[in-house]
Amino acid sequence: MKIYEKAPAKINLLLDVMRKREDGFHEVEMIMTMVDLADRLEMEELPRDTIIISSQAGYIPLDEKNLAFQAARLIKDRYNVRKGVYIHLDKKIPVAAGLAGGSSDAAATLRGLNRLWELGISEEELCTLGAELGSDVPFCVTGGTAIARGRGEKLERINNPPQCWVILAKPPINVSTADVYGKLRASELKQHPSTADMLSAISSGSFGGVCTYLGNVLETVTLQLHPEVLQLKEIMQRLGADGVLMSGSGPTVFGLVSKEAKVSRIYNGLRGFCKEVYVVRMLT
Ligand code: ATP
């Protein structure tokens, strides 16, 4: 039997870092939602007790470094599954882009293998397993829109933001999430985005409010390391996006746009500067 799972990309509407904890992790507050740019995973049971990963994308690891592999191994070990699985990753989400592609693949693997092997694991338990693989995985298991606290694993579902177009632009540079967090001086941050204002904009369905209260403290690091990300933000603003922010640790920049008439102008304008541009919708 073959099954399929979609693994959508996430964007952070807000990312705040309160402090660095004694255990080395950062205490964060993140508001995340999903967009309809997604990897597609195909999973097929194998008679032999093994995990095989393939992908058309030439630039991701296919061994135990792959997050889908790690998710399959975790669920097999924890639930004593003696069967094997072949997982094909049809990658559409740009890699190392701040869009949680790997985390979403891991989450889709957990959901998919739960179905394939009829394990009956609750969503809550899948989230707990996911937290062992990475801070963004629990959110990717449930999807929707959520506020995450702690190191990202304490999730609270909230309403979806108002529907709009999302234009994603990924400059051709690699950003390591660990490197960005490592360079962040949380105690020296002069400004923090307002989580309360963003939450009230979302709950009242105010698109203008969502655009106003977008904020990501990791921009203080990534924009300094890579001025081209700042340049991309400025270009997107100039082209008329209603709200513009870097997602996660970058380097992808997203623009929120309410009017369809503006979308192609912004897309065409961006394509002059950046090869990887995607026009998607919020997944609401
Ligand atoms: P995050 O925002 O969660 O840090 P990201 O979007 O910045 O994630 P990913 O696309 O998840 O970054 O890739 C980060 C690293 O993980 C890459 O260096 C990649 O080689 C590795 N990786 C492992 N498994 C996968 C996978 N299934 N898909 C993409 N990258 C993967």
Residue finishing a domain among 157, 179, 197: 157
Q: Is 113 annotated as a binding residue?
A: no
Q: 246: which strand partners?
A: 253
How confident is the model over 125-143, as a mean pLDDT?
94
Q: Which of 95, 180, 252 to mutate to test the pocket of ligand 1 (most atoms within 8 A of CB)?
A: 95
- The count of domains in the chain is 2
Residue finishing a domain among 108, 140, 157: 157
For residues 140 and 181, membership in a common domain is answered with no
**Residue 185's pLDDT band (boundaries 50, 70, 90)?**
very high
pLDDT in tens, 215-248: 999 999 999 999 999 999 999 999 999 999 999 9
Average pLDDT across the chain, whole number? 96
For residues 144 and 173, membership in a common domain is answered with no
CB 35 within 8 A of CB 48: no
Range of the domain at 236: 165-281
Entry pTM = 0.95
**Residue 35's pLDDT band (boundaries 50, 70, 90)?**
very high
Q: Residue 54 contacts by C-beta under 8 Å, 6 or more apart in sequence?
A: 62, 86, 87, 88, 89
**Residue 25's pLDDT band (boundaries 50, 70, 90)?**
confident
Q: Is 99 annotated as a binding residue?
A: yes
For residues 18 and 132, membership in a common domain is answered with yes
For residues 170 and 274, membership in a common domain is answered with yes
For residues 213 and 194, membership in a common domain is answered with yes
- Ligand 1 centroid to Cα of residue 209, in Å, is 31
Q: Which of 15, 35, 53, 60 to mutate to test the pocket of ligand 1 (most atoms within 8 A of CB)?
A: 60
**Residue 153's pLDDT band (boundaries 50, 70, 90)?**
confident
162 lines ligand 1 (CB under 6 A): no
248 lines ligand 1 (CB under 6 A): yes
How confident is the model over 1-25, as a mean pLDDT?
94
CA 279/CA 284 separation, integer angstroms: 16
CATH number assigned to the domain comprising residue 222 = 3.30.70.890
For residues 14 and 77, membership in a common domain is answered with yes
